[in-house]
Amino acid sequence: MTNTDITFPEGFLWGAATAAYQIEGAAHEDGRQDSIWDVFSREPGAVADAHNGDIACDHYHRSADDVALMKQLNLQAYRFSTSWARCMPDGVTPNIEGIEFYSRLVDQLVAAGIKPWLTLYHWDLPQALEEQGGWANRDTAYRFAEYAAVLHEALGDRVRIWTTLNEPWCSAFLGYAAGIHAPGRQDPRAALAAAHHLLLGHGLAAQELRRRDPAAQLGLTLNLTVPDPVDPDSDADVDAARRIDGQFNRIFLDPVFRGQYPQDVLDDVRHLGLEDFIHDGDLAVISEPLDLLGVNYYHGEAVTTSVDPASDDGGHAPQGRPVASPYVAADGVRSAPRGLPVTGMGWEVQPDGLRRLLVRIHEEYTGPAGIPVYVTENGAAYDDVPDGSGFVDDQDRLAYFDSHLRAVRAAIDDGADVRGYLAWSFLDNFEWAWGYHQRFGLVRVDYDTQQRTPKASALWYARAAAANALRTPGPVHQVGPGPAEAVTGPGDTVLATSR
């Protein structure tokens, strides 16, 4: 870690994030029916070791204890997602028992003084809607707006921050083009239809929420990358970076903030017919003004057309089924390693990419729109090794958070209006196609016993949140009697704090 104290602006928001399918479990309780991830995880080879989210972290039954632990860790905000398959199992009919779970969760958060930050969609489309075409079907966008209305009717009196979609790039291109994520399709044209209909659904939901509650804070969360050409003097590599930027970042940013798709992206994908899905008035809906943008960042990438394909595994899970490229019009473009440290996922650790990204987004998109940015996900998976008590001295993750928070502060110093940071993730959880093989949590979950144990990074993060600052620390570690105290958390959670 850097041994320099830094302080964040007054009011900077510290929190953590999760997603419904990754933590809740209770897959078929209280009226919940299959989402596309329930079905996809049962397909041979789709998820490492055939793991699934049937139990996950059992948060559905442990939410009160989990919220109490959040409070002990000084979290000011908790970004969670509601499961469409739990709230409206067939995609259209409200399920009161499922919705009441989130009402209880919101009440628990409010009582603990933690700001509820609700994400309507984090990839768990009801399977019933996928069987009608999923996001490749325009009708799904209208069903999504109806879902937003149902959730606001139930929770809008207490939830003040609403995110429509989480990472629509993953939903559209990993799900419909690459087959890496649910629903596991490999159809580039369907992926472009899904991308447009996700954006349309976002706009329709934002309009519905705005109509119901003009004072609500409305946002969209995008995962964004920083593509650099491996050889800046190579026209092919420069064009590769342009294509990735277009098909990862600008295909979502430009419609939302400028009311139009980038012309170069339209040209790149013309043979796949993106424009066939764009109806009159769509872009006006999609560009409904927002109150904030959520940015998820994990790593940038150096791209080229000349790297040996065998040297680029893309950080993908060891799935036992063939997958394709998510970049529907970037044939031959691959990432090349740069000799940077990597996480357990094989992702490069590049904190300055976050600084560059936040400054760019502010200068080109959110600044002209007059809205702030929040880092709504940032974190790292590592091969955690617990001691006999389950404690993880995860100095690598701690250093990751430290370096990226310093990058956020540097972006603020460079003029970016960044108002908060939500660590991914509060808990170890089901990591999509990786199953339970990758751990991102501040808090370790023993999946056999469901015991929660805050890691060294959690204790460090709690101290940073309390101080609104990164201090030059002594070591953060689990301790016994003497120079520190052990605090027993709720249920079977064990919390240790350094003095």
Peptide bond into 287 cis (omega under 30): no
- The beta strands (E) that lie in 286-325 are given as 292-296, 301-304
167 is known as an active-site residue: yes
How many Å apart are CA 479 and CA 485, to the nearest integer?
Answer: 7
Is the Cβ–Cβ distance between 216 and 210 less than 8 Å? yes
Is the Cβ–Cβ distance between 397 and 457 less than 8 Å? yes
pLDDT category at 471 given cuts 50, 70, 90 is confident
Number of C-beta neighbours around residue 153 at 10 A: 12
Number of C-beta neighbours around residue 336 at 10 A: 18
Is the Cβ–Cβ distance between 407 and 416 less than 8 Å? no
Q: In this structure, what DSSP letter does residue 246 have?
A: I
Q: Which of 130, 167, 288, 431 is catalytic?
A: 167
How many Å apart are CA 131 and CA 239, to the nearest integer?
Answer: 38
* Strand, coil or helix: 33: coil
Is the Cβ–Cβ distance between 12 and 421 less than 8 Å? yes
Q: What is the pLDDT of residue 318?
A: 81
pLDDT tens for 163-191 read 999 999 999 999 999 999 999 999 999 99
Of the given ranges (76-85, 187-196, 356-365, 469-478), which has the lowest mean pLDDT? 469-478
Pull the structure tokens for residue 218. 């409305």
Quickly count helices (H) and strands (E) in the chain: 17, 17
pLDDT tens for 320-340 read 899 999 999 998 999 999 999
How many Å apart are CA 376 and CA 162, to the nearest integer?
Answer: 12
pLDDT tens for 262-317 read 999 999 999 999 999 999 999 999 999 999 999 999 999 999 998 665 555 556 78
Q: What is the pLDDT of residue 311?
A: 52
**What is the C-alpha end-to-end distance of the chain, expressed in Å?**
19
Is the Cβ–Cβ distance between 35 and 9 less than 8 Å? no
* Strand, coil or helix: 65: helix
Instruction: Report residue 382 CA to chain centroid gap.
Output: 17
The structure tokens 């150096």 sit at 302
pLDDT tens for 25-78 read 999 999 999 999 999 999 999 999 999 999 999 999 999 999 999 999 999 999
Pull the structure tokens for residue 381. 């998976």
Q: Which of 384, 177, 371, 407 is nearest to 298 (CA)?
A: 407
How many Å apart are CA 363 and CA 357, to the nearest integer?
Answer: 10
Torsion of the alpha carbons at 324, 378, 76 and 32, rounded to the nearest 10: 20
| Amino acid (1-letter code) at residue 106 | V
How many Å apart are CA 70 and CA 426, to the nearest integer?
Answer: 8
Residues in the chain: 499
Task: Tell me the torsion sign for CA atoms 125, 20, 18, 379.
Answer: negative
How many Å apart are CA 64 and CA 110, to the nearest integer?
Answer: 12
Peptide bond into 183 cis (omega under 30): yes
377 is known as an active-site residue: yes
Q: Which of 130, 208, 348, 377 is catalytic?
A: 377
pLDDT category at 476 given cuts 50, 70, 90 is very low
Rounded to two decimals, the pTM is: 0.95
* Strand, coil or helix: 352: helix
Pull the structure tokens for residue 278. 């764009």
The structure tokens 């691959």 sit at 334
pLDDT tens for 364-417 read 999 999 999 999 999 999 999 999 999 999 999 999 999 999 999 999 999 999
pLDDT tens for 193-221 read 999 999 999 999 999 999 999 999 999 99
Mean pLDDT of the chain: 93
